[in-house]
Structure 1
Amino acid sequence: MTPAPFIRCDGIAKSFGTTRVIDNLALDIFKGEFVSLLGPSGSGKTTLLTMIAGFERPTEGGIWLDGYRIDDLAPHKRNMGMVFQNYALFPHMTVAQNVGFPLRMRRMGRADAQARVARALEMVELGAMADRRPSQLSGGQQQRVALARALVFEPRVVLMDEPLGALDKRLREQMQLDIRDLHRRLGLTIVFVTHDQSEALTMSDRIAVFNKGRIEQIDTPAAVYDRPATRFVAEFVGETNMLSGRVADTGPDGTAVDLAGGLRIRVRQPLEPGRAVSVCLRPERLHLGGAGVNVMDCRVTDRVYMGDHLRVALDGAAGPIIARLPRSADTIREGEAVTASFAPEDCWVLAA
C-alpha cells in the first residue's frame, strides 16, 4: 500500500502579472524522501520551492503538509528549514550564534539552545569552529553553517535553493556527498532545487524535471537517465545522441527501426510499425570495433581528452554522434574509419 504523501502540491499555478510561471502542476513528496527539482533557469522550480516555504502564495491550487493545507500559513509556522544559495549568514555573529538564531527567535531556553547548537555543529563536523566568524571560514564551511542553522530547530522539511552553486567543483562534489549522508542518517525530507544534472543524479531519491512551468517527468535518477519520458528530458539530463527514424516492424526478437542513410537497427521496445521515432543513445553505450546487432560505419571527426575518458565525435550514415570511450582508446585519431556498435537494450525510443 502506497503511503500518503507528506507534501502534496495539487493543481498549482502561479502567475506574476500576465506571465504564468507554473501551470497546473501536481507533485507528491513522501516522508524521508530526497526530491530534486531540476530544470533550466525560468522553468518554475524555485517558484514552487518558495510557495512550499510560504514566501509566495499559489494563484491556483493548494499545498498540503502531512494532511493539513498550508496555503495561508505564515513561513515561520510551517516548521521548514531553508538553505539559500548565498548562505545568508550574519557576519557580526559567531558560527554558534548564527546556528542558534532560529532558536532565539523561537524563545528557546538557553541551556536547551546551546545543546541543540552543539549537536547541529557536530552533525556538519564544525564543532571546533563554533567561535569563529563567517569571514574566517571557507565557502564549504559557510555552507555547512547554513545547513546546520536549517537543521537546528529539527524542521519537518528542509528546502534547499541551489545551495552549492557558489562552490568550486571539488567543494561542490564533497558537499553533495555530505548532504546525502545527512539525509540518510537523519531521515530528513529534503526538497532540493538545482539546474545541475549530475548533482540531481548523485543526491536524489527522485528527480522532477521542470520545463516551462510543468513537470515533464518525475522518477528515480536511473529511470530519468535511462528511460526519459520526453525528448526534453533526454537532452537536458546528461548528454545524448538523438537518431531520427521510422519503425519498420516488431516481433519477438525486438523492433526494427530504419534510420537515415539506409541503416536498420534493432531495439527492445515494442513499437507500432510506420511510427516516426527518435532513438536516444547515451555516448557511454557506444563501443568501437567488434560485432553486434547494431553496427554503424563511421569516421572520427574530433577527439577530446577528458581525463577519465575520451569524448569522440563520429560521423556516419545516420548522422553525427558522440561516443564516450575509455582512456585505452587514446590511439584513435581524427579522420580514422571505425565501426560503432551498441546493444538493442542500450537505447531508448521516443515518439518523434
Structure 2
Amino acid sequence: MTEQPYIEFRKVSKVFGSLTVVDHLDLTINKGEFVSLLGPSGSGKTTLLMMLAGFEDPTAGDILLGGSVLNRTPPYKRNMGVVFQNYALFPHLSVAENIAFPLKRRGVAKAEIAERVNRVLEMVQLPDQSEKLPSQLSGGQQQRVALARTLVFEPNVVLMDEPLGALDKNLREQMQYDIRRLHRDLGLTIVFVTHDQSEALTMSDRIAVFNHGKIEQIGTPQDIYDRPNTHFVAEFIGETNLIPVKYREGDHSRCSVTTKTGKDLEVTSPVTLFRGTEVLLSLRPEHIELGDSAEGLENAMPARISDVVYQGDHLRADIEVDGTKLVARLGRHLPPHDPGDEVFIGFRPQNARVILP
C-alpha cells in the first residue's frame, strides 16, 4: 500500500494582478522528508512556502496536510514553524525568553517551558547562552536561536525561507550540517527555500527545481545533478558543458548523436527522438578524462588546451574540441599541460545526457 503524502499541492496557482507567480503546480511531500524548493529569484518558491504557512491564499487549487484541506485554516492553527533569513528575534528578550515566547502564547505551564527551552538549547548546541541578548551573539548563534524557537513548540512541519543567506560561507556550511543532523535525529518534515544549489544538494532528500512558477524537475540530489531533464536544470544545478548535437538513433537508455563536425558519440537519453533532431549534450566537467585514460574510451576525440588553472583540490582546464569550448575538472596530479597542447579527451556514455534545447 502506497503511503499517503503528508503535504499535497493540487493544481495550486497564485496570481498577483496580471502576474502568475505559481502556475497550476502539483507537489507531494512525505512525512519526515526534507524537500528543498530551489530556483532563481521570482521563480515562485517563496510564494509557495508562504501559501503553505497560511500567510498567502492560493488563487486556485488546494493545499492539504495529512489529507485535510488547509486553504481556509488560519496560520496559527496549522502548527507549522517558520524560520526566516532575518532571524526575527526580540532584541530586548534573552535567548531563553525568545525561545519560550511561542510556548507562553500557547499557555504552556512554566515548569514545562523551562524543560523544553533547555532541551532545544542542547539540540542547537547553545546550552550556555540562555541569558544573553541576541545582540551578544554571532549571526550563526542567532540563527540557531531562531531555529530553537521554531522547534520548541514541536510543529508538524518546519518551513525555512533562505535561513542561511545572511551567514558567511563557513557558518553557512556548518549550519547546513547542523540542520541536516536535527532533521535526521528528530524526524522533522522540512520544506526549505533556497537559491543556492550547493545548499540544496547538501541537505535535501529531494529537490524541486522551480522556474517561472512551475517545477521543472523533482528528484533526489543525485537525480537532479546526474540526470537533468531540461536545459534549465542542467545549467542551474552545478556547472555543465552543453554541446549542440543531432540525434541519430537509440532507445530510452542509450543513443547515438553526431557533433556538428560529424563525430559520432554514444550517450544516454531519457527519451527516443526522431533522427536528425537537434539536441544538447550535457556533460559535467568532472566527467571529462584527458590523456592516456581518455584514448581508450568510447567517446575519445582530439582536443586543444586553451588554459589550465590550479584551484586547490583540482585543475580547471579550458579545452577546445571541433570549435566547441569545454571546461574540464581534472585531478591535480595529472602531468602538466600548457595552453596550445594537443591532447585526447574522452568521456563514458553513461556520463553524458541528451536534453532538449
The reply to whether TM is greater than 0.5 is yes
In the alignment, the residues of structure 2 paired with residue 263 and residue 118 of structure 1 have an alpha-carbon distance, to the nearest angstrom, of 66
> For residue 63 of structure 2, what is the aligned residue in structure 1?
63
> For residue 30 of structure 1, what is the aligned residue in structure 2?
30
Distance change >3 Å, CA 339–CA 9, structure 1 → 2: same
> For residue 177 of structure 2, what is the aligned residue in structure 1?
177
Q: Deviations over 1:145-187 (max 9, x none)?
A: 1100110000000000000111111111111111001000000
Alpha-carbon distance, 1:220 to partner: 0.6
Unmatched tracts of structure 1, length 5 or more:
none
Distance change >3 Å, CA 193–CA 252, structure 1 → 2: closer
Which one is further off, 199-208 or 270-279?
270-279
Give the root-mean-square deviation of aligned CA atoms: 1.6
SS of match in other structure, 2:115: helix
In the alignment, the residues of structure 1 paired with residue 40 and residue 315 of structure 2 have an alpha-carbon distance, to the nearest angstrom, of 27
In the alignment, the residues of structure 2 paired with residue 268 and residue 44 of structure 1 have an alpha-carbon distance, to the nearest angstrom, of 31
Task: Select the residue among 281, 305, 310 that pairs with 1:305.
Answer: 310
Which one is further off, 172-181 or 327-336?
327-336
In the alignment, the residues of structure 1 paired with residue 68 and residue 252 of structure 2 have an alpha-carbon distance, to the nearest angstrom, of 50
Q: Deviations over 1:284-306 (max 9, x none)?
A: 00011121111122222222222
Give, as a single letter, the amino acid of the residue that structure 1 aligns with 2:98.
N
Asked if the contact 1:54/1:73 (under 8 Å) is kept, the reply is yes
SS of match in other structure, 1:128: coil
Alpha-carbon distance, 1:335 to partner: 2.0
> For residue 274 of structure 1, what is the aligned residue in structure 2?
276
Q: Deviations over 1:91-145 (max 9, x none)?
A: 1111101111111111111111111111111110111111111111111111111
Q: Deviations over 1:51-84 (max 9, x none)?
A: 0001100011111111111111111111001100
Alpha-carbon distance, 1:330 to partner: 6.9
In the alignment, the residues of structure 1 paired with residue 119 and residue 259 of structure 2 have an alpha-carbon distance, to the nearest angstrom, of 60
In the alignment, the residues of structure 1 paired with residue 352 and residue 41 of structure 2 have an alpha-carbon distance, to the nearest angstrom, of 28
In the alignment, the residues of structure 1 paired with residue 91 and residue 314 of structure 2 have an alpha-carbon distance, to the nearest angstrom, of 43
Give, as a single letter, the amino acid of the residue that structure 2 aligns with 1:303.
V
Taking structure 1 as the reference length, the TM-score comes to: 0.97
Alpha-carbon distance, 1:339 to partner: 1.4
In the alignment, the residues of structure 1 paired with residue 85 and residue 155 of structure 2 have an alpha-carbon distance, to the nearest angstrom, of 19
SS of match in other structure, 1:163: coil
Task: Select the residue among 327, 349, 352 that pairs with 2:354.
Answer: 349
SS of match in other structure, 1:4: coil
Asked if the contact 2:10/2:62 (under 8 Å) is kept, the reply is yes
2:226 matches 1:226: yes
Asked if the contact 2:251/2:272 (under 8 Å) is kept, the reply is no
2:298 matches 1:293: yes
Number of equivalenced pairs: 352
In the alignment, the residues of structure 1 paired with residue 256 and residue 27 of structure 2 have an alpha-carbon distance, to the nearest angstrom, of 37
Unmatched tracts of structure 2, length 5 or more:
none
Give, as a single letter, the amino acid of the residue that structure 1 aligns with 2:84.
F
Alpha-carbon distance, 1:252 to partner: 12
Q: Percent identity of the aligned residues?
A: 56
Structure 1 runs of 4+ off > 4 angstroms?
A: 251-254
2:318 matches 1:316: no
Taking structure 2 as the reference length, the TM-score comes to: 0.95
Asked if the contact 2:5/2:31 (under 8 Å) is kept, the reply is yes
> For residue 143 of structure 1, what is the aligned residue in structure 2?
143
> For residue 283 of structure 1, what is the aligned residue in structure 2?
285
SS of match in other structure, 2:333: helix
Asked if the contact 1:121/1:148 (under 8 Å) is kept, the reply is yes
